[in-house]
Amino acid sequence: MNRIVHGENLSVLRTLATESVDLIYIDPPFNTGRRQKRPRIKTIRDVEGDRTGFGGNRYRTELVAGSPELAAGYLDSFDDYIGFLRPRVEEARRILKPEGSFFLHVDPREVHYCKVMLDEVFGRPCFRNEIIWAYDYGARSSKSWPAKHDNILWYTNHPKRYTFDLNASDRIPYMAPKLVGAAKAARGKTPTDVWWHTIVSPTGKEKTGYATQKPLGMLERIVRVHSKPGDVVLDFFAGSGTTGAAASKNGREFLLIDESDEAIAVMEKRLGLVAERTKKPRKRAAKKIVETAQVAGVIKGTA
């Protein structure tokens, strides 16, 4: 049932069955500025209305009915990031199986607000860990401590019953191997909630060219420990499809959703699968299709 879906994630999530996936990982864009949506309004004739229009008639203005985040408007401000995320997280919880896990990958500026929202949606007893992904790459600020970590919040659908197989994790080296003996040192130890992991190397084989690609090793750790072979893993901000690659490599099924043409092209190539399209072609693309059809004589009119 591996699937890549090209579309706006909230509308796709609403089509998915309740309690149908075992594990969800999402890595939404941190900067909401690129995701602006204006509230859609309509003007209705109403003697009680607050505005006078054509012919002296009175009118009132109403928001067009639709999804709550559209009505609220998704503006480029901090509060709206949570407003954008929350309905998607609520859908995620509905779709998650009773023993499933949910992971939200954010950065240190947003994480505290996200934690409060997730506590409300899942309930505080369902919070399991804040994982710190520590890396050391790129420019170093001289005005504050260089920020070199991301935050990954882990919630379970049930406070006590959930899939967690620590033995399935990769192992990491001891910091002082001489203190633990040769056998233990050779085996390594299980990770804690601080994960030291390099970013995707800009010159390495793993690189897909997608700007925000996350390391496969980290996603494999999540998939192996928090799901079982044959389980279904969902990522609805899928980008380059790292979650799908980790699922596929470890015998899990995947469902990946993204609205970007570029992300879909990268995923199709990376995972060898054709995406399902839920979006109409953009206006310019649609115009091009019409022009091509006119030139070919398939439809009437001149190009």
Ligand X SMILES: C[S@@+](CC[C@H](N)C(=O)[O-])C[C@H]1O[C@@H](n2cnc3c(N)ncnc32)[C@H](O)[C@@H]1O
Binding site for ligand X (CB under 6 A): 8-9, 27-29, 35, 210, 212-214, 237, 239-240, 242, 257-260, 263
Distance of alpha carbon 298 from alpha carbon 290, whole angstroms: 9
Distance of alpha carbon 55 from alpha carbon 86, whole angstroms: 44
Closer to ligand X by CB, 207 or 288: give it.
207
Closest separation in Å from C-beta 56 to ligand X: 43
Contact 151, 195 (CB under 8 A): no
Closer to ligand X by CB, 115 or 270: give it.
270
- The closest of 193, 284, 238 to 4, measured between CA atoms, is 238
Segments of 72-229 assigned E as strands: 96-106, 127-134, 149-156, 194-196
* CB closest to ligand X, residue no: 239
Phi, psi values for residue 218, rounded to 5°: -70, -40
Closer to ligand X by CB, 53 or 281: give it.
281
Closer to ligand X by CB, 29 or 181: give it.
29
Closest separation in Å from C-beta 237 to ligand X: 3
Closest separation in Å from C-beta 260 to ligand X: 3
The one-letter amino acid at 117: M
Closest separation in Å from C-beta 30 to ligand X: 8
Closer to ligand X by CB, 14 or 187: give it.
14
Contact 219, 235 (CB under 8 A): no
Contact 162, 156 (CB under 8 A): yes
Closest separation in Å from C-beta 84 to ligand X: 8
